[in-house]
Chains A and B, each alone.
Chain A
């Protein structure tokens, strides 16, 4: 059934050498600007060989396509490769980075504008090495530093899934990034370690399965790990919390801001349902992740939850004390009255208790109150929590238009105080920036 034409590598030595030289010249400029002096690892900076295009359509076994569908959900491929209201996997989604705006590409099997002419080896090389079929380096906004850990079988299944989607003819949008692609080669030699996930023999099979999914296709660290000035994840601060699209992605390790520490059962349920009554409701960029994960098997979610909870290395005793203090604070807050905005706008749902109809998260337990920035909470209050069009999901009304910047600032400060954490610095400035639309 599987019929993939053989692929030859074009050897264009002279062209490659020329490309290497021009790549280096471009890099020199960027390196000076970025203050990167390490000129290690010249190999890999150059543009790579093109892979010959496919000429015939392919067929795939149904089981492989089904498996690929689940993997596509695990990898949240739609997140970057589909625009709101656009055709699935046809690309065009703007991804704002500190280095400029990159647009998700068309990964439908359209032969001219998508990946219809990409043989499996080209797809695999893009995933594993961050190089497109024509041999150009891909910007690491495409998280190949994670996808490199994915096994051959899973890459082939994902490929089978994508190549059997509806082909959509839609040209890719030109990226607006001042960094030349050739410079990406040097970035890779410094920050990119290729290689499939290697299991840790000291850990359980479930833990290893979780680590494989989280570090690989799930690319959780792409948001939950802080990045350095050149946009690379700080490996020694893995899962210590990061930034994405103006939102803070909370720490998943021992510095987790969740007032009640996560347990594997709760996390597993959250990943599917997008809500955990003692922790959070998924919002912002995480919302589409939990929507994706609602389609994934229990086995995969269980493994992910097992691994993520193991990142919190605090002792059971420490975790228990944290939980008790947080629950006690939540109990007390219900009795507090006196902030007219909270009492009038928030208390009716948030003091009702989750068990009641319309009951919302008890706020002193909410992670948005305890993270280092007020931005998530400000976005949630302004825009509410609204499921993607046509999907089920948690709902909170948007308060945009109701509160002035000053009133929102006061409310954020009040909610922060409820959490028992020290005040956020300069909330007023953050609110001004947010209402100016600055993400």
Chain B
């Protein structure tokens, strides 16, 4: 194990990369960061954070259930997340009085039921307590080569689909009524997006843990959208921020005893707060400048 960072960056990175599990952690982390960043950008724009949170949490019973049945945990992650995405999308928004409260009640119920099932699976399985904590709060240890390959395949397929539906999805998100009037299949798009969100949440939760997926799904995108309003720029910025946060967190977790999930959320949140404060102050400055002559 490491003796501690020397603050000679090159030497520190070399020390980390001498260990195969760290190389794999960085590979997996980078893949997940790009995937979660890209899909998270749309999620934040569509105000579906609660759905994203629930889809991430659902991976916990998925993994626990798969282990209980003797299947591979990562299979369980994806099956559960996609199934939950279908349930959330299937509940029809009632035609007349569609309200956000109703929809969020469904999501909340799905989430609580998923967690309860996870707890049941774990108790039926017995033992397994240590990995339960890492299911919830993430681990970067012991990521196998196979897992990296699976993550890469999932990421490539999801991003490919996202590229395909990106433009109409953006249109439907920004102006739903006009998009539907122009013949964009809004319902189908939102279903496809929820499934993609499920895949991204399942992939990310293998690194960050089911509870802390938000550090990659929400925080980089939220910070980037605060910094700039131009879609293409903020999208690129999101990917960059997500990757940087992941690398920093992996490095910090390697050199300290504290869990990677804590570092991920802390760096992500720090970034978001800095972005909020910085843009808030420039906005204030601009307003003051605009008002300046009028007051004077």
Partners in one complex: no
Residues on B lying within 8 angstroms of A by beta carbon are none
Residues on A lying within 8 angstroms of B by beta carbon are none
